[in-house]
């Protein structure tokens, strides 16, 4: 008998961060495979595309003066109860433990016997930064232990979660790596006409300063993509760039936005590098711009995974990244890019110089990166793994709420 399509609730953050991207792209791919998917969040996820079998439910948190801080987790739990009841959800897939796994647990408690199973996918900072705080640690651990299955995008995060939260051995963590759509994120075209169009596109981004534009036209482009939070160490990006720019002509594209952006802009100006650096701001999709870059810089303090490095790899762009967290599972040192100790500006700059001075090495590493993504981190493979996990959870004897 063919397996029936499932009704899947996905709760996630709607912002452009990696957890929202993974949740949204997974949901859209599941709908393509015939499942019905119900996104539940406080806003439409950035990459959401309405369509057959794809739905969105908005979580409304009413204003009430007694609440100094509106209890989003409760409103989310109530919305999950509603959506589960209206659509007969088989499971709720919570992306980012806090508050999604906790709200899903609450919804299950309300629904009793009819409750869907809960699968929680950890994304990193939900454990390594916020989930381990005293204010949240016990509830994060409890919510994971109450999930029918827990996944993490890297073996590193699975280990860190067990250690940081003291998670019981009886709660296994499946490692399901993050993924990219390798069809959409393609390497730069090899056709000379399209290549020239790409080069012109990049030069156009720097065209506002005519003298500088002429001086730096055609020079290599480094890129950094992030939400500019302190964990991304965006000032390191500026300093690595400055070190390289002191030795050779080069340009830098910052993609994204967040708290540290204006400090970076100010530092770029102080260092006299404004003509060579552009801040593009937030982009929903990087597929158009990313292939124009020659190299990705990711000097983060830590990353559970480092989705931007995977997106770059899909475009055959090597990364120079921190030797921290799950990054060594995404960037293979000396094969698809280089790893350097966190905060070691000169080590980063020296790897960048090696790549910029050797176009053949850059191409070889780019090809290896693309191959790695196509073989190990492609969308279909990840969706297969999540579907298998859903079936496994649903085939197991139902767990009941305490
Ligand atoms: O890195 C961020 O600040 C965003 C965060 C998120 O919640 O979207 O990213 C985390 O999840 C991504 C998707 O799984 C991972 O690729 C990032 O490495 C992870 N960030 C950290 O661990 C710092």
Query: pLDDT digits over 13-57, tens only?
Result: 998 789 999 999 999 999 999 999 999 999 999 889 888 999 999
Please write the tens of the pLDDT for every residue from 116-155: 999 999 999 999 888 889 999 999 999 999 999 999 999 9
The pLDDT value recorded for residue 114 is: 87
Verify whether ligand 1 is closer than 6 Å to residue 54 (CB atom): no
Counting every residue written for the chain, the total comes to: 402
Q: How far apart (Å, rounded) are the C-alpha atoms in residues 284 and 399?
A: 38
* pLDDT tens, residue by residue, 302-335: 999 999 999 999 999 999 999 999 999 999 999 9
For ligand 1, is residue 307 a contact (CB within 6 Å)? Answer: yes
Per-residue pLDDT of the chain (402 residues; tens, 9 = 90+): 568 999 999 999 998 789 999 999 999 999 999 999 999 999 999 889 888 999 999 999 999 989 989 999 999 999 999 999 999 999 999 999 999 999 999 999 999 998 999 999 999 999 988 888 999 999 999 999 999 999 999 999 999 999 999 998 889 999 999 999 999 999 998 888 888 888 888 888 888 888 878 888 899 999 999 999 999 999 999 999 999 999 999 999 999 999 999 999 999 999 999 999 999 999 988 888 999 999 999 999 999 999 999 999 999 999 999 999 999 999 999 999 999 999 999 999 999 999 999 999 999 999 999 999 999 999 999 999 999 999 999 999 876 666
CA end-to-end distance (rounded Å), the chain: 34
Task: Give the pLDDT confidence score for residue 197 in this predicted structure.
Answer: 85
Helices 137-145 and 155-165, packing angle to 10 deg: 120
> What pTM was computed for the model?
0.95
For residue 2, the model assigns a pLDDT of 66
- Which pLDDT value is given to residue 131? 86
Task: Phi first, then psi: give them for residue 82, nearest 5 degrees.
Answer: -60, -50
Q: How many angstroms separate the CA atoms of 88 and 5, rounded?
A: 12
Q: For residue 355, report the distance from its CA to the centre of ligand 1, in Å.
A: 26
Pocket probe mutation, ligand 1, options 22, 123, 286, 305, max atoms within 8 Å of Cβ: 123
Q: Which residue's alpha carbon is nearest to atom 23 within ligand 1?
A: 303
Pocket of ligand 1 contains residue 161 by CB under 6 Å: no
Task: From 24, 96, 98, 125, give the residue whose CB has the most ligand 1 atoms within 8 Å, as the site to mutate.
Answer: 125
CA pair distance 133, 18, nearest whole angstrom: 21
Residue 393 has a pLDDT of 97
For residue 320, report the distance from its CA to the centre of ligand 1, in Å.
Answer: 17
Is the CB of 19 within 6 Å of ligand 1?
A: yes
Which of 296, 304, 321 to mutate for ligand 1's pocket (most ligand atoms within 8 Å of CB)?
Answer: 304
Pair 180, 189: CB distance under 8 Å: no
Per DSSP, the three-state class of 40 is: strand
- List Cα–Cα distances, 364 to 209, 222, 308, 350, 367, in angstroms: 34, 17, 20, 18, 5
CA dihedral sign, ordered 10, 57, 131, 227: positive
Question: At residue 103, what are phi and psi to the nearest 5 degrees?
Answer: -65, -40
Q: Is the CB of 46 under 6 A from ligand 1?
A: no
Residue 257's Cβ-count burial label (10 Å; 0-12, 13-18, 19+) is middle
């Amino acid at each position: 008998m063919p397996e029936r399509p499932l009704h899947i609730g996905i709760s996630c953050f709607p912002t452009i961060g990696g957890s929202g991207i993974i949740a949204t792209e997974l949901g859209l791919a599941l709908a393509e495979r015939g499942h019905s998917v119900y996104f539940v969040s406080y806003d439409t996820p950035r990459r959401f595309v309405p369509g057959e079998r794809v739905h969105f439910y908005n979580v409304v948190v009413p204003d009430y003066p007694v609440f100094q801080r509106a209890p989003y987790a409760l409103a989310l739990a109530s919305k999950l109860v509603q959506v589960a009841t209206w659509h007969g959800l088989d499971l709720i897939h919570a992306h980012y433990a806090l508050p999604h796994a906790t709200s899903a647990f609450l919804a299950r408690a309300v629904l009793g016997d009819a409750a869907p199973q809960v699968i929680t996918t950890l994304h990193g900072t939900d454990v390594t930064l916020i989930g381990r705080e005293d204010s949240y640690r016990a509830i994060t651990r409890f919510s994971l232990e109450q999930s029918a299955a827990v996944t993490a995008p890297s073996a590193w995060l699975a280990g860190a979660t067990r250690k940081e939260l003291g998670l019981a051995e009886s709660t296994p963590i499946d490692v399901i790596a993050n993924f990219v759509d390798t069809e959409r994120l393609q390497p730069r075209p090899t056709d000379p006409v399209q290549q020239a169009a790409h080069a012109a596109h990049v030069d156009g981004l720097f065209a506002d300063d005519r003298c500088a534009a002429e001086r730096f036209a055609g020079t290599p482009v480094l890129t950094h993509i992030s939400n500019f939070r302190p964990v991304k160490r965006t000032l390191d990006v500026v300093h690595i760039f400055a070190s390289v720019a002191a030795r050779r002509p080069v340009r830098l594209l910052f993609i994204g936005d967040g708290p540290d952006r204006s400090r970076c802009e100010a530092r770029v100006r102080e260092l006299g590098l404004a003509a060579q650096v552009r801040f593009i701001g937030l982009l929903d999709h990087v597929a158009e711009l990313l292939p124009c870059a020659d190299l990705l810089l990711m000097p983060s303090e830590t990353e559970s995974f480092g989705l931007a490095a995977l997106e770059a790899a899909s475009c055959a762009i090597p990364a120079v990244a921190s030797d921290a967290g799950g990054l060594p599972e995404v960037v293979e040192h000396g094969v698809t890019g280089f790893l350097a100790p966190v905060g070691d500006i000169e080590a980063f700059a020296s790897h960048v110089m090696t790549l910029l001075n050797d176009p053949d090495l850059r191409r070889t590493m780019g090809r290896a990166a693309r191959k790695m993504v196509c073989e190990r981190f492609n969308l279909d493979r990840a969706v297969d793994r999540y579907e298998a996990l859903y079936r496994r959870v649903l085939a197991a004897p139902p767990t009941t709420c305490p």
